[in-house]
Amino acid sequence: MTVRQGWQGRFYEDFAVGDVYQHPLGRTISESDNTWFTLLTMNTNQAHFNAQVGEASEFGRRLVASPLTIAIAMGQSVTDTTQNAFANLGMDDLRLTAPVFVGDTIWSESLVLDARTSGSRPEAGIVTIRTRTLNQDAVEVLTFRRTFYVHRRGAERARSLFPQAATPLSLETEQARP
């Protein structure tokens, strides 16, 4: 029996300047997403939750709250960039380059701009990426730069915390089930 770990994310050593990661999950933004986000964040701009205000705007419909678009874009990048990170150090050059509407599907990709070892944390490195987000029509809607601390491979704090079952999962144990 061979136990194969699921994707563990990238460690500092896996980042190479110039690499591009096209994050695998697109996300269609629903009306509920937008409404709940405005409620949770106390965003009182009616362009996000009032149909009449949205229809009267230059866009002719409600806008998705920009911080929601930013949050989804960052989330889309985690599996490829910050799954083994332990601190975001900064987000810079944030640009909202096109509006996002309910029903849009957004996709993100990231370019590695810089990777350097940490002088104060020997088990970590500092990586800077540029992330851009596209809608379903390949129109860029968002771009930002982000810098973060990420564990080096083998770092004690990056070890797997997956619990060890008393009985390992295997074909033998499955076939022995009643």
pLDDT confidence of residue 158: 87
Domain boundaries, the chain: 12-156
- Predicted confidence pLDDT, tens digits, the chain (178 residues): 677 777 789 999 999 999 999 999 999 999 999 999 999 999 999 999 999 999 999 999 999 999 999 999 999 999 999 999 999 999 999 999 999 999 999 999 999 999 999 999 999 999 999 999 999 999 999 999 999 999 999 898 888 888 888 888 888 878 888 8
CATH class of 12-156: alpha beta
pLDDT value of position 8: 84
Structure tokens at 89: 């150090």
pLDDT at 27: 98
- Complete DSSP assignment for the chain: -----------GGG--TT-EEE-S--EEPPHHHHHHHHHHTT---GGGT-HHHHHHSTTSSPBPPHHHHHHHHHHHHHTTTTTTEEEEEEEEEEE--S--BTT-EEEEEEEEEEEEE-SS-TTEEEEEEEEEEE-TTS-EEEEEEEEEEEEPTT-GGGS--PPPPSS---HHHHHT--
pTM above 0.85, yes or no: yes
User: Rounded to the nearest 5°, which phi and psi values hold at 110?
Assistant: -130, 140
